[in-house]
Amino acid sequence: MTTTTADDTAAGATAVDPSSRRSIGRWVSAYGPVFGIALMALVLLVWAPGALSDFRLGNLGRYCALALASMGIGLAWGRGGMLVMGQGVFFGLGAYAMAMHMKLEAAGPDGVPDFMILYGDGTMPGWWEPFRSGPFTLFAIVALPAFVSFVLGYAILKRRVKGAYFAILTQAMAVAFATLLIATIKQTGGFNGLNTFSTVFGHNLYDPEVKKNLYMISAGLVIFFLVVLWALYRSRYGELLVATRDAEERVRFLGYDPANVKLFAFVVAAIMASIGGAIFVPIAGIVSPTNVDASASIMLLAGVALGGRASLFGPAIGAIAVGYGRSTLSERFPNQWTYFLGALFILVVLFLPGGVASLWPKLRSLFPSSNDQPAAAAPAVDTAGAEAS
């Protein structure tokens, strides 16, 4: 201990007391994200509603809904090391639950959704019935993905399926789910999906005030889950999850079952995707198999990879950026925009594997500030050697 103090005073003789400097650094890394979240809240909840047109605000609301799913991917993939390529399934569970409720609202009490009369014999399957209830729908939006992801995750993770096999399995899930939806046109609207809604929980969807509030809920959920993830990442569980990602066997030999550690992240990610899907539907006015299939799932993943999967803000900002880029580019280059997105994706994966969020620490290491102590590492090694003897 005494040697360390000597080292530090030698290294930082001109500067402030090193221990206080280090604790400032720790304080910033612990509470810096809070300021980041506050800034995001300011932009999304205060600036955007005033500055953007209703149309643009609606778009941003949709991106926020997608961002919720992407933030879940950030948790499962970035922190948990599980490459979830089928989050569209859970996004779809929430989206379809909400859409079914709104469809029943549009049909009126005891009414039957229009497409069932069009494609079927006008009778409604029994499992639609509970979704007439608003509270049940809200419950299902959380409980359904939680249950499905728990069962699937338990089966997959307890068998120690990882890496590419895990990714392929989850991807196959998305393909199967979309195929099932398309095949059941009489029950789920098939390829057309569910659309032509009129109200959500009794509020007129065409009322600008309601539209704005839907946006506020979507953006508010992003902020809320940023806080949830921030708390989760700095908790002991957050550390354990990273440890499991980096050395799963080692975690097993510390007395944990890694499957349980990963399962929790997988379930939380599924619930976040489902909530994103549920708020997506009233804003977009439609949900169809193209919103939940394999390519939709990969699009969610692209935002996460671009933004930086392991960072707190990367997935959310990446998802919003991809959504924005997608609509701007597709307006100008309707045929080529996917190539732009693909090229950007390749560039980021090649040169910035940690995503755009990793730019900040990279820039910081280029310009060493007074907060960094590059010299301290070497002498400290000797210190420890002396201590142990």
Partner 1 sequence: MTISFLEEDYLEVTGLTVDFSGFKAVDGVDLTFLQGSLHFLIGPNGAGKTTLVDALTGLVQGTGTAMFRNKDLLTMKSHQIVRHGVGRTFQTASVFEELSVLQNLDIAAGLHRRTRSSLLPRGKVPERVAEALETIGLAPLAHRPAGVLAHGQKQWLEVGMLLVQDAKVMFLDETVAGMSTEERDNTGELLKRIVADRTIVIIEHDMDFMRRYADHVTVMHTGKVLAQGTVAEVQADPRVQEVYLGTAQEAEHHG
Residue 80's closest CA among 25, 162, 22? 162
* Residue 182 to residue 213: CA distance in whole angstroms: 32
Per-residue binding letters, 347-386, with partner 1 (x by CB under 8 A):
------------------------------x--xx-xxxx
Minimum distance of partner 1 from residue 346's CB (angstroms): 26
- Residues in the interface with partner 1 (CB under 8 A) total 36
* Residue 290 to residue 235: CA distance in whole angstroms: 37
162 binds partner 1 (CB under 8 A): no
Minimum distance of partner 1 from residue 7's CB (angstroms): 9
**123-131: long-range contacts (C-beta < 8 A, 24 or more apart)?**
125/187, 128/100, 128/104, 128/187, 131/97, 131/100, 131/101, 131/104
Per-residue binding letters, 11-40, with partner 1 (x by CB under 8 A):
-----------x---x--------------
Q: Which of 254, 343, 349, 359 lies at the binding interface for partner 1 (CB under 8 A)?
A: 254
Written as one letter, the residue type at 235 is S
CB nearer partner 1, residue 34 or residue 347: 34
CB nearer partner 1, residue 66 or residue 269: 269
Minimum distance of partner 1 from residue 358's CB (angstroms): 13
Radius of gyration of the chain (CA): 24
Q: Which of 112, 168, 210, 242 lies at the binding interface for partner 1 (CB under 8 A)?
A: 242
Interface segment toward partner 1; rule CB under 8 A; list 99-107, 143-151, 202-210, 243-251: 243-251
Q: Which of 234, 290, 340, 352 lies at the binding interface for partner 1 (CB under 8 A)?
A: 234
Minimum distance of partner 1 from residue 377's CB (angstroms): 6
CB nearer partner 1, residue 55 or residue 253: 253
Q: Which of residues 174-233 bind partner 1 (CB under 8 A)?
A: 231-232
CB nearer partner 1, residue 163 or residue 342: 163
Q: Which residues contact 94 (CB under 8 A, 6 or more apart)?
A: 141, 144, 145, 273, 274, 275, 276, 277, 278
Interface segment toward partner 1; rule CB under 8 A; list 1-9, 49-57, 211-219, 321-329: 1-9
Interface segment toward partner 1; rule CB under 8 A; list 89-97, 215-223, 251-259, 352-360: 251-259
Q: Which residue has the tokens 């961002």?
A: 67
Minimum distance of partner 1 from residue 5's CB (angstroms): 9
123: left (phi over 0), alpha (psi -120 to 50) or beta: beta
CB nearer partner 1, residue 207 or residue 257: 257
257 binds partner 1 (CB under 8 A): yes
CB nearer partner 1, residue 1 or residue 363: 1
- Interface contacts to partner 1, rule CB under 8 A: 1, 3-4, 22, 26, 231-232, 234-237, 239-240, 242-243, 246-247, 249-257, 377, 380-381, 383-389
